[in-house]
Amino acid sequence: MKIEIVNFVDGARGAEGIAVVIDVFRAFSVACYCFSKGVSKIYPVGDVDDAYDLVKNIDDGILIGERKGKMLPDFDYGNSPTEIMAANLLGKKVVHTTHAGTQGIVNAVNADEVLTGAFVNAKATAKYIKDRSPDKVTLVKMGLEAKSQSDEDDLCAEYFKMLLKNQPFDETTIVETLRKSPYSQRFFDPDKPWCPSSDFDLCLDVNRFSFALRSVRDETGNLNLEKVNVQVTIPFGEEEKAKDVMHQL
């Protein structure tokens, strides 16, 4: 399996094989939390006006997302897993637009298959990929505003690479490494209430979920994320403990 690591929207456009579009803070962590709260669909959208248009035509549709980290006007929720955890989303269909993450999904037009990438479901996503034995995997780091590198997406890409190559990676260092990163400081800044510290914790609850999120086109031609459950066994110290499925519901 050839693994290539690329960046931003241009990287997404050129991604081949199975593309994993990585956005830890916060788009694809949010997407996982939405499914864990029972949403039936997530439509990743690039353009804000397209999001406003799309939601009008969807029964039980809601808007989630941000620009510059802040919730957009008339949106139901910001791009915040903390908000998602407190919301009743059962059966809702989410139209999701973000500065970085969703731009990668909509632009990965040359890949055979497109998956989301985040720490919260990394092992499940890697297992899903390995089960398919693809010739090529492209890890697309969306970074900050899809314009510049960010430590959390770099580290997540490295983690995916190790998982895909069956090489060791010390997951216990992830949270403390990223706590010190300049890219995480917005979560500890009292002047940025739209980025609560609980978002940092929720986005770094490594391997909380045992499902992958795959981008597919529905009958109307719109891209949407589909949840694929994956049988993952997660080592805890010397024990092998299957993830508690109820944890995700």
Ligand X SMILES: O=C(O)[C@H](CS(=O)(=O)O)OP(=O)(O)O
Q: Which residues contact 190 (CB under 8 A, 6 or more apart)?
A: none
For ligand X, give the closer residue by CB, 101 or 117. Answer: 101
* 97 vs 65: CA distance, rounded Å: 5
The least distance separating ligand X from the CB of residue 152, rounded to whole angstroms, comes to: 9
For ligand X, give the closer residue by CB, 8 or 17. Answer: 8
The least distance separating ligand X from the CB of residue 244, rounded to whole angstroms, comes to: 27
Is 26 a residue that touches ligand X (CB under 6 A)? yes
* 170 vs 52: CA distance, rounded Å: 42
Contact window for ligand X (CB under 6 A) among 18-26, 86-94, 105-113, 238-246: 18-26
The least distance separating ligand X from the CB of residue 130, rounded to whole angstroms, comes to: 26
Is 201 a residue that touches ligand X (CB under 6 A)? no
* 24 vs 117: CA distance, rounded Å: 7
- Contact 107/11 with Cβ under 8 angstroms? no
Of the candidates 113, 145, 171, 226, which one interacts with ligand X according to CB under 6 A? 145
By CB atoms closer than 10 A (0-12, 13-18, 19+), residue 123 is buried
What does the DSSP 8-state code read for residue 116?
A: E
Of the candidates 17, 22, 63, 79, which one interacts with ligand X according to CB under 6 A? 79
Contact window for ligand X (CB under 6 A) among 20-28, 39-47, 50-58, 159-167: 20-28
Of the candidates 50, 69, 201, 226, which one interacts with ligand X according to CB under 6 A? 69
User: Strand, helix or coil at 63?
Assistant: strand
The least distance separating ligand X from the CB of residue 101, rounded to whole angstroms, comes to: 4
Is 144 a residue that touches ligand X (CB under 6 A)? yes
Is 151 a residue that touches ligand X (CB under 6 A)? no
User: Strand, helix or coil at 193?
Assistant: coil
Residue bearing tokens 């090489």: 167
How far, rounded to the nearest angstrom, does the alpha carbon of residue 163 sit from its chain's CA centroid?
17
* 138 vs 108: CA distance, rounded Å: 10
For ligand X, give the closer residue by CB, 66 or 224. Answer: 66
Is 101 a residue that touches ligand X (CB under 6 A)? yes
The least distance separating ligand X from the CB of residue 241, rounded to whole angstroms, comes to: 30
Is 48 a residue that touches ligand X (CB under 6 A)? no
Task: Provide the terminal-to-terminal Cα distance of the chain, rounded to the nearest Å.
Answer: 33
- Read off the tokens for 136: 């090529």
For ligand X, give the closer residue by CB, 152 or 208. Answer: 152
The least distance separating ligand X from the CB of residue 53, rounded to whole angstroms, comes to: 20
Q: Which amino acid is at 119?
A: F
Residues that bind ligand X (CB under 6 A): 23, 25-27, 66, 69, 79, 98-101, 144-145
